[in-house]
Amino acid sequence: MKRITYLICILLTSALVAAMVGWSFAAGALLVPVIAVPLGVIVILACRQQVTTVISDERTSRIRSKAAIKTIEVLLILGVIGTAVFASYAYSAPLAPSVNGKIAINNDGTRSMTLTLTRGGLPGMPEEVVRSLTIQDIDSMNETEARAYGLFWEEGLRQYEESGIIARTLLCCLGASLVTFGIFYLYYTRKY
Amino acid sequence: MKNRIRVLRAEREMTQEELAELVGVTRNTIMSLEKGKYYPSLKLAYRIADVFGVGIDNVFTYEREKDGPGMGEDE
């Protein structure tokens, strides 16, 4: 078997195993991954033993090492930039949206409430009104008004919250990458 | 670093594929070595010299000052 055939075998086996695992989770057949994953590994190892040509030598190993290091470097730089952008957007108070509520007494004695979601702008610029909602009688809110009230909070602050989630996720990924790098660095420092 | 792999191979009427198989690397590695794009490890250099039955200094020649960083050296 040639190297390219071996690579095709890996690709097909991985795709098949991934599909089976995905299907098993969807169908609730949790025994399938327990059998499929080791079986896939066995098939790949069996294919590897059939390869007659050289699979990888010192040049390919060195190319892979260099490519991996460059990839990590680029991803770290992009991660730091992304985290900074999203974190500054999510955590900077002037840019954060704010909700203001105003309760008024109606002519018939009931109370109405007006909620306004505003987004802060640059210093000196007026705040931008994102959306506004008025509930005519807050003591007897109907279903439509209750849904609109829920949506107001949910959708109004979603973009802001999503930026925070992305920033935290990127920060966790960066932290995990650095810790992994540190572990491998210590391992190879001790090994060589 | 210069090498005489191509010459030594031609003298022995050996193909790149055959040499690659004898030293346990891919043909691409032999091609890169011959073009001077890749510098081998000491182990591989000795293996190549061994296949040709000559000393390592008969295959590889280090040229002081002229060398830029190639792959296989630290940049």
Kindly tell me if the per-residue pLDDT of A169 is higher than 60.
yes
Instruction: Look at residue A17 in the predicted model and tell me its pLDDT.
Output: 94
User: Is A189 part of any domain?
Assistant: no
Q: Which residue has the higher pLDDT, B1 or A13?
A: A13
Would you place residue A16 in the very low, low, confident or very high pLDDT band (cuts 50, 70, 90)?
A: very high
Angle between helical axes of B42-52 and B16-23 (0-180°, round to 10): 120
Kindly report, residue by residue over A93-150, the tens digit of the pLDDT.
666 777 888 999 988 889 999 988 887 766 777 778 888 888 888 888 888 888 888 8
Q: Are residues A47 and A81 located together in one domain of the fold?
A: yes
Q: How close, in Å, is residue B47 to chain A by CA atoms?
A: 13
User: Is A186 part of any domain?
Assistant: no
Distances (CA, A) of A16 to A35, A47, B46: 13, 15, 43
Instruction: Look at residue A191 in the predicted model and tell me its pLDDT.
Output: 84
User: Is B26 part of any domain?
Assistant: yes
User: Is B32 part of any domain?
Assistant: yes
Q: How close, in Å, is residue A59 to chain B by CA atoms?
A: 6
Q: Are A89 and A120 in contact (CB under 8 A)?
A: no
Residues in chain A with CB shorter than 8 Å from the CB of B34 are none
Q: Are residues A132 and A54 located together in one domain of the fold?
A: no
* pLDDT (mean) for B45-61: 95
Q: Are residues A77 and A38 located together in one domain of the fold?
A: yes
Q: Are residues A13 and A77 located together in one domain of the fold?
A: yes
Q: Are residues A101 and A35 located together in one domain of the fold?
A: no
Q: Are residues A103 and A84 located together in one domain of the fold?
A: no
The enclosing domain of B11 has a CATH number of 1.10.260.40
Mark yes or no for CB contact B29/A57 under 8 Å: yes
User: Is A31 part of any domain?
Assistant: yes
Domain membership of residue B23 as a residue range: 2-60
User: Is B66 part of any domain?
Assistant: no
Sole residue written with tokens 């061994």: B50
Sole residue written with tokens 């960066």: A174
User: Is B70 part of any domain?
Assistant: no
Kindly report, residue by residue over B13-52, the tens digit of the pLDDT.
999 999 999 999 989 999 999 999 999 999 999 999 999 9
User: Is B9 part of any domain?
Assistant: yes
Would you place residue B65 in the very low, low, confident or very high pLDDT band (cuts 50, 70, 90)?
A: low
Tokens (6 digits) for B41 = 């490890």
Tokens (6 digits) for A104 = 């008024």
Pick from A58, A60, A63: CB nearest B44: A58
Q: What share of chain A is helix, strand, coil (3-state, %, to 5)?
A: 70, 15, 15
Instruction: Look at residue A157 in the predicted model and tell me its pLDDT.
Output: 77
A161: amino acid identity, one letter: E
Pick from B24, B41, B43: CB nearest A54: B24
Would you place residue A36 in the very low, low, confident or very high pLDDT band (cuts 50, 70, 90)?
A: very high
Q: Are residues A40 and A56 located together in one domain of the fold?
A: yes
Sign of CA dihedral A72, A76, A78, A83: positive
Instruction: Look at residue B75 in the predicted model and tell me its pLDDT.
Output: 46
User: Is A142 part of any domain?
Assistant: yes
Residues in chain A with CB shorter than 8 Å from the CB of B20 are 54
Q: Are residues A24 and A74 located together in one domain of the fold?
A: yes
Distance CA B37, CA B44 (A): 15
Instruction: Look at residue B4 in the predicted model and tell me its pLDDT.
Output: 95
Residues in chain B with CB shorter than 8 Å from the CB of A56 are 26
Q: Based on the structure, what is the number of domains in chain A?
A: 2
User: Is A172 part of any domain?
Assistant: no
ipTM attached to this prediction = 0.79
Q: How close, in Å, is residue B24 to chain A by CA atoms?
A: 7
Tokens (6 digits) for B11 = 């003298």
Q: Are residues A140 and A85 located together in one domain of the fold?
A: no
User: Is B55 part of any domain?
Assistant: yes
Q: Are residues A36 and A57 located together in one domain of the fold?
A: yes
User: Is B42 part of any domain?
Assistant: yes
**Segment 28-47 of chain B within 8 Å of chain A by CB:** 28-29, 32, 38, 40-41, 43-44
Residues in chain A with CB shorter than 8 Å from the CB of B25 are 54, 57-59
Q: Which residue has the higher pLDDT, B48 or B68?
A: B48
Instruction: Look at residue A96 in the predicted model and tell me its pLDDT.
Output: 72
Tokens (6 digits) for A63 = 């190319």
Mark yes or no for CB contact A59/B20 under 8 Å: no
Domain membership of residue A56 as a residue range: 3-90
* pLDDT (mean) for A163-175: 88
Integer Rg of chain A from CA:
28
Instruction: Look at residue B52 in the predicted model and tell me its pLDDT.
Output: 96
Q: Are residues A86 and A19 located together in one domain of the fold?
A: yes
Q: How close, in Å, is residue B28 to chain A by CA atoms?
A: 9
Instruction: Look at residue A11 in the predicted model and tell me its pLDDT.
Output: 94
Q: Are A81 and A118 in contact (CB under 8 A)?
A: no
User: Is A46 part of any domain?
Assistant: yes
Q: Based on the structure, what is the number of domains in chain B?
A: 1
User: Is B72 part of any domain?
Assistant: no
Q: Are residues A57 and A114 located together in one domain of the fold?
A: no
